[in-house]
Structure 1
């Protein structure tokens, strides 16, 4: 089935990580975020993908090319990000007069969950939550969706909209909807028109994550790195050949170079071209990507991504963090529950705090406002090429912008 994947937005809530790249290309385990969405679509039955691109679109086009996973890819460019219905309307000329699926390119799904969306007629995916009052909530009667209510004080159900839709071909004529109160053309208004004409099925997902803010990127990596190492274990049990990857243990993949003097515990993947040196301890789940180096005498624990060509050096501890491509934490440092952008460089002795003394959830600045991360432990977010001076201390919930710097011995308690 033809599938539209929305990947045109600027990702302003994810800044500074999206200053120089589109949010869909942020790393989640071994792939960009949007690649997980496209892979899930193909596994569910997508036979053609139309990618709606806009902001910083070149990396998306370069990654997917003309075909991906044996499925043809077509691109349409949304000039102004005027809402999800406008994005699909932009894609409409590239669609055949047939049913179509629409997916948000910043959403993650559990394996197999999208298959029921593709099977049968019109449908919308939802997940059940304890408190649906901050979401679009589905009203369902006798197994049919009868409406959707935005952020209701008295929710009609605990099913929230997961932003994945199966529309009939006729919906191509219903895309011209008026602007909402927030000045955008909303796909939920197209859904309302669809509900007026045909029965729409609710499809319940077992797990789903909308990746919109930095701590959700951390959560996405926690989820998908664990899934990746589980897949490595499955491949081992299924008899994957040595020419594909060399496994050491039931849940570890060491295609790269791992010192005999390193201690590896739990599920860990070391990609080809990566190096784990002597004296290192890694407690998985962890993914060490191609070209990365860890050690000597470093400690990596929690669910951690060490990105391509990143480095974790002597006497450095990294816990439950994302280090993007080229990030360097080389000497006597601690990084906990943090997201470091590309080519970040930590001066020797830089220490990140990741816990408030009052045990309240750490707050982070999102679009100019302090917002709770909902996480008792959360460290810092550093934009690409941020650099710290030696012996810098950075407080929990601090953001350093793209290219920001600190002075030697500085304690940073506010965003920069």
Structure 2
């Protein structure tokens, strides 16, 4: 075991924001700006994502590629460091490239194309995190509490909360992950699903449930859905 691994903290103290994509599903809105800067209810999507920190004091890093200078200007003066990508590395490759900025130990990762109505996502994840059993803990939501998302769901879980692919809960884009598994993958650009497959085989990928509402803002039509949800025009328990 390396010295870094031996001294790595058990609890996450850093957040990786995925903000480098081309936003093709958001065209024409993304023709002139990166998707994380598209506004919902008057605020950029990346600012809605940062709200999910709650009161956690996290070291924050966002990857950037498409129109990266716009993202840098928006974040200037704040507490988010940019990890610029000369070429798109996807979620796994982007996270691995940002590890020197994030520091050792498990990290939160968060997509920047969703809006939430309910408790802050990352403190909720932290309360369910058990580093003795878990390599990853994914925050998921039942389909009936998800807006703007097509499909039959992403994950099923067993009685202990271990996840496996299947038509069940929808992954919200928020997780805690131990990054060591990224070193098992040779490709420079790859999706985090490659790491998840290995964790599923080892029985170390777990799911936690989000109790509020969530909207996938992946295309222009979803903006109105998200704004109605934030204005509490969407009925829920």
The verdict on a shared fold, with TM-score over 0.5 as the criterion, is yes
CA deviations over 1:195-234 (Å, ceiling 9, x no partner): 344633311122111111110122222223x16xxxxxxx
Query: What TM-score do you get using the length of structure 2 for normalisation?
Result: 0.78
Name the structure where helix makes up a greater proportion of residues.
Answer: 2
Q: Residue 125 of structure 1 corresponds to which residue in structure 2?
A: 139
Query: Residues 37-186 of structure 1 correspond to what in structure 2 (within 5 A)?
Result: 37-41=49-53, 43=54, 45-67=56-78, 72-114=79-121, 115-119=123-127, 120-121=129-130, 122-129=136-143, 134=151, 137-149=154-166, 155=167, 158-174=168-184, 176=185, 185-186=190-191
> RMSD across aligned C-alpha pairs, in angstroms?
2.6
Larger Rg: 1
- Change in CA separation of 1:74 and 1:19 when aligned onto 2, cut-off 3 Å: same
Matches of 1:177 and 1:135, distance apart in 2: 31
- Residue among 220, 225, 228 paired with 1:219: 225
SS at match of 1:139: strand
1:99–1:6 CA distance, 2 compared to 1 (3 A): same
1:11-41 per-position Cα deviation (integer Å, ceiling 9, x unaligned): 1111111111111101111310110001212
- Contact map agreement 1:85 1:177 (CA 8 A) in 2: no
Higher share in strand: 1
Structure 2 CA distance for aligned equivalents of residues 29 and 98 of structure 1: 35
State the alpha-carbon separation in 1 of the partners of residues 152 and 20 from structure 2: 22
Note the residue ranges of structure 2 that are not aligned, 5 or more in a row.
Answer: 1-12, 131-135
Count of matched residue positions in the alignment of Structure 1 and Structure 2: 210
Structure 2 distance, partners of 1:46, 1:6, is 19
What TM-score do you get using the length of structure 1 for normalisation?
A: 0.46
For 2:186 and 2:221, locate their aligned partners in 1 and report how far apart those are by CA, in whole Å: 33
Q: Which has the higher contact order (CA 8 A, sep 6+)?
A: 2
Q: 1:191 aligns with which of 190, 196, 211?
A: 196
